[in-house]
Structure 1
Amino acid sequence: MTTRTTQTVVHFQTSFLVSDVVEPQPPGDYQVDREDELIEGLSWIAWRRVGTFIHLPAIGVRAAIRQLVPIDPAEIDAVTEKDPFR
């Protein structure tokens, strides 16, 4: 199966919560990865999302532990929509 990863950076001006993570995350830039797989057997190229992940902590923050946390795409959209500076 052919897969691809699309990486984006999301900026938050305020703290936010992510499911499955107890503490609120501070404002900053966060890397978000979207994993897609090729849908085979079609006469055109089409991709299906199979996962979305956010890297914790924020970019540039020094930490002993870094996490790649799965996140629902709707949840990341909801978090960015709540940010008054977006």
Structure 2
Amino acid sequence: MTIRSRRETITFKHPFHIRGIARELPAGAYEVVTDEETIESLTFSAYRRIATMITVPAEGAHGAVEMLSIGSVDLANAQAADASAAT
């Protein structure tokens, strides 16, 4: 079984919430890491998502960051809410 990681930067224009994170996060750019594993026994290459993590500012530690595990659907919901928020 092979695992790969994809990294992308996602920008939120407004402060936002993601289910599973107890605090509001400020607007800005966030690194998201998605780990995927190969699906064996197929005749073509395919992957399934096994983890999604976001790097956020650490609470109470100026300049420090922490990586938190989140659901991919929760991330998509937060992005949709940010896109539909009034500017």
Tell me the TM-score normalized by structure 1.
0.84
Cα deviation for residue 85 of structure 1 reads 6.8
Gaps of 5+ in 2: none
Pairs within 5 Å for 1:25-36: 25-36=25-36
In the other structure, the counterpart of 2:44 is: 44
Tell me the TM-score normalized by structure 2.
0.83
RMSD, matched Cα? 2.0
SS at match of 2:83: coil
Gaps of 5+ in 1: none
Distance 1:63 1:55 in 2: 12
TM superposition outliers: structure 1 runs of 4+ over 3 Å: none
Q: Percent identity?
A: 27
SS at match of 1:84: helix
